A and B are shown apart, each in its own frame.
Chain A
Amino acid sequence: MLTTRVIPCLDVKDGRVVKGVNFVDLRDAGDPVEAAIAYDTAGADELCFLDINASHENRGTILDVASRTADQCFMPLTIGGGIRTVEDIRALLLAGADKVSINSAAVKDPDFVARAADKFGAQCIVVSIDPRQVAPGRWELFTHGGRNPTGIDAIAFAALMAQKGAGEIMVTSMDRDGTRDGFDLELTRQVVEAVPVPVIASGGVGNLQHLVDGVTIGGANAVLAASIFHFGDYSIGEAKAYMAEHGVRVRPMEAV
């Protein structure tokens, strides 16, 4: 059977990891490529880089990170942040990304996702949404790190994105992001039920039970976390062992 993916996500700014990775002796804890190699060795199932100050001028920096990572890590790599054009996507894929994650540009122009999926295939287009709860059972899309409301219903938008050709939806609860209180499970579950494609739960993980809950209660196909891994609270191996003990099928370390 298919296993649930555990995905560490690294915020990258000007080619450097914003919060250094502390779980292992790295020569340079701020180098995203070293962090990527460490997570590859630790048995992460995919890796995600988020370029948090992406702009037209510094596009080359993240391309270099993608390329150097792909040279050394033989695992799936997703890159997000500041993707606005088909050319941005092409450059990232050619540099070594396997998937790109599109956020604001999809909100601004949903057909951008359709054009991207037509051009490169749905399998490499992840649409990342940042909802905030506005009423019981209702979530609205926010952009710009949760600051700007859009008035768009998040669940309906997720369904639209899957229709347009997104191969996967990443849901980051803006209410939970950074809180360590766990995923917004009701939000996750609603998105999972609204789309036929896989869903990555993100935002709020503070302990290993949260990862289990994202799958068993939220219904997510993959779980993404940042600080619990980067700060060394838990290793990927510990996360997977805990998930397996609690009935979630995960990929064990396999040396061949």
Chain B
Amino acid sequence: MSEKIVIIDYGSGNLHSVQKAFQRGAAAKGHSVVVSADPAAVSAADRVVLPGVGAFGDCRAGLEAVSGMREALHARVIEQGVPFFGICVGMQLMAERGLERGSHDGLGWLGGDVVHLTPQDPGLKVPHMGWNALGSVASHPVFRDVPTGRHVYFVHSYHMKTTDPSQTLASVDYGGPVTAAVGRDNLFGTQFHPEKSQHVGAKIIENFLEWRP
């Protein structure tokens, strides 16, 4: 069955690469990928992708500024349970709160806060920028054939600390554990950028498109 994958456009960052990366994975399956700012598109989506770059508070405000979007997202993802993929700040927004430049409410889909990175080694730079090796990757359909040790691309200064450790699906080491992926049920999110992570990223996107939670 042909599916419709909707990437939400709420004025945050470059959607071009995200769109291209998902299109590459979707084309072989006959799925369509659209970038949309229309809540009606989300209501009809078979899968929803929420990207996001920049500050947590700005992204949250941007999402709120699209009339009816938060309600449509909640209905489609939480009530009706379609697969959801949050990327970077789009992933962080699933938390209860973001503590970047003040405290901002998240969507509250996962328990936990988004906090500043504090590597134990003071020589480590923030932002955490570049390719890091995935550690302790959970057994999860979206990580099929993506073993521990594979490198993915990060650029961020904050990360999510989940209250329930089982909701952290992968982490990397950067002067201590840094959350790389989170999720539960039909929710999945990565702190890293699959659309910038070459073959490994493409595999994760492909897995997401096949995922039937």
- The residue that B16 contacts in the complex, of A1, A96, A124, A252, with Cβ under 8 A, is A96
Residues of B within 8 A of A70 (CB): 14, 16-17, 20
Chain B interface main SS type: mixed
**CB-based contact B127/A122 at 8 Å:** yes
- The residue that B131 contacts in the complex, of A40, A45, A71, A197, with Cβ under 8 A, is A45
CA distance A22 to B197 in the complex (A): 26
Give per-residue flags for A177-214: 1 if the beta carbon is below 8 A from chain B beta carbons, else 0: 00000000000000000001111000000000000000
A residues 56-93 touching B (CB-CB < 8 Å): 67, 70-71, 74-76, 93
Residues of A within 8 A of B151 (CB): 3, 251-252, 254
The stretch that binds A, out of B39-47, B105-113, B200-208, is B200-208
A residues 9-53 touching B (CB-CB < 8 Å): 40, 45
B201 (CB) vs chain A CBs: closest residue: A74
Residues of B within 8 A of A124 (CB): 13, 53
**CB-based contact A221/B125 at 8 Å:** yes
Residues of A within 8 A of B17 (CB): 70, 74, 96, 98
Give per-residue flags for B117-142: 1 if the beta carbon is below 8 A from chain A beta carbons, else 0: 00000001111111111000000000
**CB-based contact B145/A95 at 8 Å:** no
Q: Is B153 an interface residue (CB 8 A)?
A: yes
Highest count of chain B CB atoms <10 Å: which of A1, A197, A198, A254: A254
**CB-based contact B132/A123 at 8 Å:** no
Residues of A within 8 A of B127 (CB): 122-123, 167-168, 197-198
For this complex, into which size category does the number of interface residues on chain B fall?
Answer: 35 or more
Give per-residue flags for B19-34: 1 if the beta carbon is below 8 A from chain A beta carbons, else 0: 0110010000000000
Give per-residue flags for B157-178: 1 if the beta carbon is below 8 A from chain A beta carbons, else 0: 1000000000000001110000
A199 (CB) vs chain B CBs: closest residue: B125
Residues of A within 8 A of B133 (CB): 1, 3
Q: Is B78 an interface residue (CB 8 A)?
A: no
CA distance A5 to B131 in the complex (A): 7
Q: Is A97 an interface residue (CB 8 A)?
A: yes
Residues of B within 8 A of A135 (CB): none
- The residue that B203 contacts in the complex, of A67, A197, A221, A256, with Cβ under 8 A, is A256
B131 (CB) vs chain A CBs: closest residue: A251
Q: Is B156 an interface residue (CB 8 A)?
A: yes
Highest count of chain B CB atoms <10 Å: which of A70, A96, A255, A256: A256
Given A1-B174, A254-B199, A256-B199, A221–B130 Cβ distance below 8 Å? Answer: yes
- The residue that A5 contacts in the complex, of B14, B55, B130, B203, with Cβ under 8 A, is B130
Q: Is A222 an interface residue (CB 8 A)?
A: yes
Q: Is A121 an interface residue (CB 8 A)?
A: yes
CA distance A120 to B21 in the complex (A): 21
CA distance A76 to B58 in the complex (A): 23
Q: Determine how close the nearest CB of chain A comes to the CB of B70; give it in whole angstroms.
A: 21
**CB-based contact B126/A98 at 8 Å:** no
Instruction: Show 14 A/B contacts (Cβ-Cβ < 8 Å), sorted by A.
Output: A1-B133, A2-B154, A2-B174, A3-B151, A45-B131, A70-B17, A74-B24, A120-B53, A121-B13, A123-B127, A123-B156, A167-B129, A198-B129, A198-B130
9 tightest A-B contacts by CB? A121-B54, A251-B131, A251-B151, A198-B125, A256-B203, A123-B155, A96-B16, A2-B132, A256-B199
Please report A residues at the B interface, Cβ cutoff 8 Å: 1-5, 40, 45, 67, 70-71, 74-76, 93-98, 120-124, 167-168, 196-199, 221-222, 251-252, 254-256
